[in-house]
């Protein structure tokens, strides 16, 4: 299936390669936006203003020139996105295991007081919920481990979005 105007939503958490996938989209000439909380008129904390933030996010997506959306607020609203944009393609970026993800989070946010036990639980539960919701709504989901071979990941992304000659997948914000 050719890409056309299919929307693409990257649902990975911080430190899972969302920036790398965003730059991959750009190198493939796919209009992409990354970490677009301000652009989508989100009110923080996002979960406290969920209904209002969803309305603003949907309006932004529907009126924006972008085809691909990654990082926050995308991850927060994966349920609504899957229900509303059933023809979209969803990409869950992740790390090889939770321990690798926690090490990356600790390294990146050094000096911050991170509750690693809470983060670990949240990461694992939310990823599992994304898998369950994608099956429930019957949406296309590609799970991509950013720690795997970059050439293989580029090929998988290319096949998933319908590109015959996908660009290389770089690694940005590596830790």
Q: Please, what are the domains in the chain?
A: 8-161 (3.40.50.300)
d(CA 120, CA 72) in angstroms, rounded, equals 18
Q: What is the mean pLDDT of the chain?
A: 93
Residue 175: is its pLDDT beyond 80?
no
Q: List C-alpha distances in Å: 41 to 36, 38, 99, 107, 143.
A: 9, 5, 34, 30, 28
d(CA 94, CA 104) in angstroms, rounded, equals 12
Measured at the alpha carbon of residue 162, what is the angle toward residues 126 and 130, in degrees to the nearest 5? Answer: 10
Please tell me whether residue 93 adopts helix, strand or coil conformation.
strand
Residue 7: is its pLDDT beyond 50?
yes
The pLDDT > 90 percentage for the chain reads 83
Q: Model confidence over 155-173: pLDDT tens digits?
A: 999 999 999 899 999 887 6
pLDDT value at position 49?
96
> Residue 58: which of 131, 71, 113, 50 has the closest Cα?
50
d(CA 27, CA 7) in angstroms, rounded, equals 17
C-beta atoms surrounding 131 within 10 Å: 13
Mean per-residue pLDDT, 11-16: 95
């Amino acid at each position: 299936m050719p890409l056309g105007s299919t929307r693409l939503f990257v649902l990975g958490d911080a430190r899972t390669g969302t920036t790398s996938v965003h730059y991959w989209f750009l190198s493939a000439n796919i209009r992409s936006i990354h970490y677009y909380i301000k652009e989508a008129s989100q009110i923080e904390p996002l979960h406290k203003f969920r209904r209002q933030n969803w309305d603003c996010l949907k309006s932004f997506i529907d009126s924006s020139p972008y085809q691909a959306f990654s990082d926050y607020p995308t991850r927060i609203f994966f349920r609504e996105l899957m229900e509303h944009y059933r023809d979209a393609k969803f990409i869950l970026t992740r790390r090889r295991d939770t321990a690798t993800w926690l090490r990356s989070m600790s390294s990146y946010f050094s000096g911050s007081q991170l509750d690693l036990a809470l983060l670990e639980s949240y990461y694992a539960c939310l990823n599992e919920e994304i898998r369950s919701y994608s099956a429930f709504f019957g949406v296309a989901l590609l799970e991509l481990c950013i720690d795997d071979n970059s050439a293989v990941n580029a090929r998988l992304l290319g096949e998933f979005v319908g590109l015959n000659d996908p660009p290389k997948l770089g690694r940005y914000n590596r830790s």
